[in-house]
């Protein structure tokens, strides 16, 4: 399963909890960020048949309190988790969409991480939006397919 790979708050910054990719840079490496694609590739590199891999995606998100309302991207400083004020432990997709509509929150898609997030002046939420399963599905299938003609690849669930 490709969820809760990175939990924001550990490094004091916002992070997608289930990114498909993580750009290679010093800050990401220092934070120990990982990705779904790296996990799949690791299993394949260690001999697991892609036909035996099932890749699951989350259908929820996490909310965090921003330190600076003007710094709202991935790796923005945070005070910590929402602690249940908005969602409890985590928020369902429906609750996140309701938050976006009611708070007039801004939705962002980061193509480097293949991750969605939204924010208002105080709250930052990482989650997977509707397009992510399609992007993730084809990206992960490509990992499993490689140059192995005639073999079945990775299966994805959401």
- Would you say residue 1 lies in a domain? no
Q: What is the pLDDT of residue 117?
A: 93
Q: Say how many domains are in the chain.
A: 1
Paired strand residues for 123: 65
- In Å, what is the CA distance from 80 to each residue of 15, 115, 119, 124? 12, 20, 14, 10
- Would you say residue 10 lies in a domain? no
- Would you say residue 2 lies in a domain? no
* Joined tokens for residue 26: 């010093």
| 3-state SS assignment for residue 114 | coil
> What range defines the domain where residue 32 resides?
26-157
- Would you say residue 101 lies in a domain? yes
* pTM of the shown model: 0.76
- 53 near 155, Cβ under 8 Å? yes
Domain of 102: which CATH number? 3.10.50.10
- Would you say residue 5 lies in a domain? no
> Is a pLDDT exceeding 60 seen at residue 126?
yes
- Would you say residue 7 lies in a domain? no
In this predicted structure, which of 65-69, 77-81, 145-149 has the lowest mean pLDDT? 145-149
């Amino acid at each position: 399963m490709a969820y809760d790979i990175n939990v924001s708050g550990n490094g004091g910054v916002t992070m997608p909890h289930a990114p498909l990719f993580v750009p290679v840079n010093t800050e990401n490496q220092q934070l120990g960020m990982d990705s779904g694609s790296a996990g799949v590739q690791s299993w394949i590199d260690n001999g697991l048949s892609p036909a035996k891999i099932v890749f699951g995606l989350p259908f929820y998100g996490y909310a965090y309190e921003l330190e600076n309302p003007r710094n709202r991207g991935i790796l923005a400083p945070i005070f910590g988790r929402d602690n249940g004020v908005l969602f409890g432990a985590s928020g369902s997709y429906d609750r996140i969409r309701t938050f976006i509509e009611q708070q007039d929150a801004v939705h962002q898609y980061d193509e480097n991480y293949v991750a969605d997030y939204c924010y208002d002046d105080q709250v930052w939420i990482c989650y997977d939006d509707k397009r992510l399963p399609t992007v993730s599905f084809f990206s992960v299938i490509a990992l499993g397919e490689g140059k192995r003609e005639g073999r079945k690849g990775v299966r994805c669930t959401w």
